[in-house]
Amino acid sequence: MIAAHQPVMVDEVIRNLITDPEGVYVDGTVGTGGHSLEICKHLAPHGRLICLDIDKSSMHLAEKRLSAWKETTRIIKGSYADLDAVLKEVGVGAVNGILLDLGLSSYQLESSGRGFSFLREEPLDMRMDEDRGIAASELINTASVEDLQRLLWSYAQERWARSIARAIAEERRKGLITSTQHLAMVIETAIPARYHPRKIHPATKTFQALRIAVNNELQNIESFLNKVPLLLVKGGRLVVISYHSLEDRIVKHAFHPQEQEAGYPRRLPIDPEVRPSLMRPVSKKGLRPSRDEVNKNPRSRSAIMRVAERMEGEKR
């Protein structure tokens, strides 16, 4: 039995996303359809929802979940980073709202069999799109110690990045590292026991960094943020839910360019000719899930939602 994914901050999503029930909306990370189902319930008869994802298995579950709304929804395999091309292909111009929920679903963690979690023995794949890219096992077994160290620090701020990278290199001399628990064991032994974190597994940050690298997650977010202002109608909303500081920092700085941190390294430039002139944050601070929601759904505890609105204007 596949665990039903519990969507995060549903009430906040609906309240901030839907400005016109007759409009056209995009769920750029439909997953198994949790948020999309609630969006459909709040659209008027002529409202439309376009759902994107790169995870075919999740999409099949979303199709079943949204079967009652076949007339108003369209589910497309594609990345939100390519939303401009997708909208052009389906003959849609600017839309009224776009949602991105950047977290992993319960299905991906517990039932996909692709090694997103170290809690069970699975192949080290971590690709959300099984048709593209290289698996985490290939990255682990071929990257240099220096590249592994850089990856672990850049994508997870792992203080033991050097020790873990060296331990991985030493272990793979004995044989390929191809499973989640094998990698988790290597990481546990690389970090002295007295320095193991109290609240999370020692392998948590390494698995996060590998998943981000395998799926080009941060680059996709920045590419999308460059395009999104011109994909929204005036007054249209962008709602982004992030789950770690690297994602949230990119979104925050796109919405609040004046708060750019000195020395913050960008992987891709966000176009200053588009972003500041056309988008404004709806609230200065990000929204957090309620205490009641966190108690009911502990996975929501790290979520932070940011909302921006398309203003009137043209690219300068």
Radius of gyration of the chain (CA): 20
195 and 229 together in one domain: no
Over residues 61-70, the mean pLDDT reads: 94
- For residue range 155-204, list pLDDT tens digits in order: 999 999 999 999 999 999 999 999 999 999 999 999 999 999 988 899 99
Residue 262 lies in a domain: yes
- Rounded to an integer, what distance in angstroms lies between the CA atom of residue 44 and that of residue 24? 10
- Rounded to an integer, what distance in angstroms lies between the CA atom of residue 178 and that of residue 297? 31
- Rounded to an integer, what distance in angstroms lies between the CA atom of residue 200 and that of residue 288? 21
Q: What angle do CA 154, 6, 282 make, to 5 degrees?
A: 65
Q: Tell me if residue 248 falls in helix, strand or coil.
A: helix
Report whether pLDDT(128) > 70: yes
Over residues 69-91, the mean pLDDT reads: 96
What is the model's pLDDT at position 296?
93
83 and 223 together in one domain: yes
Q: Tell me if residue 237 falls in helix, strand or coil.
A: strand
Over residues 227-240, the mean pLDDT reads: 96
What is the model's pLDDT at position 267?
42
Model confidence band, residue 269 (pLDDT cutoffs 50, 70, 90): very low
Which of 165, 182, 215 is where one domain is finished? Answer: 215
Number of domains into which the chain is organized: 2
Residue of higher predicted confidence among 235 and 6:
235
- In whole angstroms, how far apart are CA 177 and each of 159, 174, 268? 22, 9, 31
CATH code of the domain containing 103: 3.40.50.150
Residue 29 lies in a domain: yes
- For residue range 20-54, list pLDDT tens digits in order: 999 999 999 999 999 999 999 999 999 999 999 99
Which of 196, 215, 234 is where one domain is finished? Answer: 215
88 and 171 together in one domain: no
Residue of higher predicted confidence among 3 and 116:
116
**How distant is the alpha carbon of residue 294 from its chain centre?**
19
14 and 100 together in one domain: yes
The mean pLDDT of the chain is 90
Q: Is the dihedral of CA 1, 51, 280, 226 positive or negative?
A: positive
pTM recorded for the entire structure:
0.90
Which of 193, 215, 237 is where one domain is finished? Answer: 215
User: What type of residue is 289?
Assistant: P
DSSP state of 194: G
Domain limits at 61?
10-108+217-310
Q: Tell me if residue 241 falls in helix, strand or coil.
A: strand
Over residues 308-314, the mean pLDDT reads: 80
Over residues 223-245, the mean pLDDT reads: 95
Model confidence band, residue 5 (pLDDT cutoffs 50, 70, 90): low
103 and 221 together in one domain: yes
Model confidence band, residue 108 (pLDDT cutoffs 50, 70, 90): confident
Which single residue is written with the structure tokens 């665990």? 3
99 and 31 together in one domain: yes
**Do β-strands 279-281 and 304-310 pair in parallel, antiparallel, or remain unpaired?**
antiparallel
74 and 120 together in one domain: no
Task: Give backbone dihedrals phi and psi of 47, rounded to 5 degrees, phi first.
Answer: -70, 155
CATH code of the domain containing 123: 1.10.150.170
